[in-house]
Amino acid sequence: MNLGDTLKFFRTKKHITQKELLPTHIDPSSYSRIEGNRRPIRLNDLQSIIRNLEIHPDEFFSYVSIDEEQDLFRSIYYYCSTHLTNQKYKKKLLEYYYSLENNTHKDLRELSNYISIKSLFHPHWAEVDGMSSEEVNYVYNLLLNKSYYFQYDYILINNLVPFFNSKQTDILFMKAFPIKDEASRGSYVNTPNKKRRKNCLMLIKNNK
């Protein structure tokens, strides 16, 4: 759910009116636009509303989808991974893949998605090109110059381990693991990265 839908979900589940929920300086008409995703909300106001809802912020944000486009990509990607012959969803994923392929200025999220598609679907779909040495070296140098790794970085590492040489793999693995500040990073970061660390170790072992 987006932010407005999440606010409305918790408010209605707790049988609270908009007026009862609001900080005194926000009028109901303004808040109605917030729940309708027609107006942004300031962080301190959101904190006040979550407090008035009497729920933990972690629980609230576990329901919130900040990046709906990425959530849509993941749902199609994972569906296609188990339904390789479904033409409807294959077409959707390929359309996104082609848009990334033609984008010469990918941000980290787009690069991560692009590499993920190539890594998983090239062996199954003729429409998806294999990984080029230029792409592998570009990502390697990008990751090499980082001192702190986030989720998209770990996705790139996991997908490209089979394409790195042994020296590249060893260098990146020494830099990326153990995960820095692991204890203080949320489950959204930790759980996928622990799985990817295990996957990386298995891939490294198989490659050597």
* Domain boundaries defined on the chain: 3-62, 68-207
Give the Cα separation of 207 and 181 in Å (integer): 29
Give the Cα separation of 24 and 98 in Å (integer): 49
Give the Cα separation of 65 and 33 in Å (integer): 18
The token pair that represents 36 in the structure block: 């309708």
Predicted pLDDT at 85: 97
- Distance, first Cα to last Cα, the chain: 44
**C-alpha 69: how far from its chain's center?**
10
The token pair that represents 74 in the structure block: 């993941």
When mean pLDDT is compared over 16-25, 42-51, 127-136, 178-187, the highest value belongs to 127-136
The residue-averaged pLDDT of 47-62 equals 92
Report whether pLDDT(48) > 80: yes
Under CATH, which number does the domain 3-62 receive? 1.10.260.40
| Helix, strand, coil percentages in the chain from 3-state DSSP, rounded to 5 | 70, 0, 30
Predicted pLDDT at 66: 82
